Chains A and B, each alone.
Chain A
Amino acid sequence: MRSVLIISEEYPPKEIGKTASIVKFFSDELLKRGFLVSVLTHDEFNVGTSVENSIRVTRVSSPVRTFYSIFALETYLTTQYIREGVNIILGEKADLIISFEWMGFLSAYMLSSKFSIPWVAVIQTSEKERSKDSFDLLSISIASIEKGLLKKASMILTNSLKTYETLINEYSIDSRKIVVVNLEAEYCVPFLLSMIIK
């Protein structure tokens, strides 16, 4: 059986924006197609591994409980995603890593690099679009993560033409590896699989 590792800051019941529902949709679609699906996500209180509708969900918390900034949280969580990601990959030999939004990019890249597994990054909006006129030092740092790491992804999915243009024009990412799709359309997952897994 083929398996997929998904890394996302959000997964139900933790829903801040739309990401959680998209991740859930991807997980269900992959499951339907016979994949073993593991989701790595963040939750400060509900920590541990459980099987939820045949999807294995591992929730990690920051090893440092003091919240200082979103950037600090990302760094600490990266170490936990790597820890659990390695366990999952060594146990099930993942064929594909999919990470959603910037907070999961570094861990996805590291796991992909270590185990030579293709990595698909999903990005709905870039930091450049989100912060617009309030593009401060924190935004520059987040944009740096997006820009630096997305270049290393095997493939990038986005549902926005504007983001597509930003990735090309602002982040200098090769347009050939960016795909604009409706992330909630039924064709999206089979299309992704046809592109990545031969």
Chain B
Amino acid sequence: MEILMLVWEYPPRKVGGLATHAYNLSLQLSQIGAEVDVVTTSFPGEPEIEKKNEKLIVHRVETYSYPAYDFINWVMGMNNSMLEYIANLATRKNFDVIHAHDWMVIPSAVGLKYLIGKPIVYSIHSTEYGRRNGIHGTMQRLIHETEGWGTYESKKIVVCSKYMKEHVAWLFGVPSDKIHVIPNGITESPPVKVDIDFRRKYALDSEKIILFVGRMVDEKGLNVLIGALPYVLKFGISAKIVAVGDGYAINRMKETAWKLGVYDKVYFTGYLSDEELNKVFKISDVLVVPSLYEPFGIVALEGMINKLPVVVSDTGGLSEIVEDGINGLKVSPNNSEELAKRLITLFSDENLRNRISELGYKTAKEKYNWREIAYETLEVYKKTTV
């Protein structure tokens, strides 16, 4: 089976989690017999065509000939470049399926669908409606409409959780039998050595490290976690939040910490390299994912695969990953007090911490491996060609 995968970011270009997802999926697909051509955007220093293995070729399309004055126009220029490129590629290859990741490549996918008469599989990793809690402006409306158009034009839709399946079915009026749930996967990070000096960069020896990893945007709920910290400290537990990531709401988060009198107990690290983040996982005592909206919640799996106990909001995909009290703890979204109580319970009960860490690791390792995900995706491809 020959697959054309369209995705705007692919390593080494990594902006969100999409690049990692596309990389792992394309690699595993190529290792179980599919031939995959990935078409993505160019990246400085990277070749236009890169043969990763006998069955995986990455095509990086130059997009800078369209120096757009804003994000939407950049996306349109990217699609023009992709269409021009794949018009040529499609004359040399005989693709069976076009796999489009998110709305940004939908114009290319649809144009190609009509040109070569092959079906689209559309992976929706999140929706504009969900990301912004509604549609509030022209740019968002265009993105929302493009997403809806993509659901109409595609033969199958892949989402990462049951929550997203319901959300997409509701939002775009898509028949639910068109939507398939395939979770994201996780891979173990390479082993690293960390010592006490490294830990001291982030916290005092006496402080428990409560780790947050994510974009500093409202939907990620960091302010809920910061709101829980005074309760934890008041209980007599010495703790510090290490908040990794960046985003438009970072100053508001800092302001919250200041107002609650815990500014010195929240360390905003900014963006960290994969290597540094891997080490930070190793020195942390708990990972908290306090999201208000979370289609999947890959960061919870990152915590689990690093054998950290995880505390997550009972929302979206997180609800499906974590079984409360078994492989993690769940709290109601947007409830700092409840979050604080669960953290206090966790810090006070070593057996609980050890048990959920072990089971969390087992869950991540066994249930969310990329090989299995590739097989499931291949099955969806096959259904489009029947």
Contact = CB atoms under 8 A, between A and B. Distances in A.
B142 interface: yes
Chain A CB within 10 Å, residue with most, of B68, B114, B139, B141: B114
B119 to A, nearest CB: 14
Interface string A50-63: 00000000000001
A66 B72 contact: no
Chain B CB within 10 Å, residue with most, of A76, A86, A113, A148: A76
A66 B66 contact: no
B91 interface: yes
B68 A78 contact: no
Contacts, number: 95
- Interface size class of chain B, counting residues whose CB lies under 8 Å from the partner chain: 20 to 34
Contacts of B142: 64, 66, 68, 72
B221 interface: no
A76 B107 CA distance: 6
B155 to A, nearest CB: 15
A141 B88 contact: no
B69 A136 contact: yes
Contacts of A83: 114
Contacts of A75: 76, 79-80, 107
B138 A148 contact: no
B116 interface: yes
A110 to B, nearest CB: 4
B77 A71 contact: yes
Nearest to A78: B111
A64 B72 contact: no
Nearest to A63: B149
B313 to A, nearest CB: 32
The DSSP consensus for interface residues of chain A is: helix
Interface in B115-155: 115-117, 138-139, 141-142, 145-146, 149
- Interface size class of chain A, counting residues whose CB lies under 8 Å from the partner chain: 20 to 34
A140 B146 CA distance: 25
A131 interface: no
Given A64-B146, A66-B142, A138 B90 contact: no
B175 interface: no
Contacts of B116: 114
A137 B65 CA distance: 10
Contacts of B114: 79, 82-83, 86
Interface of B: 65-69, 72-73, 76-77, 79-80, 83-84, 87-88, 90-91, 107, 110-111, 114-117, 138-139, 141-142, 145-146, 149
Interface pairs A-B: 6 shortest CB-CB: A137-B69, A83-B114, A110-B87, A75-B76, A144-B65, A79-B111
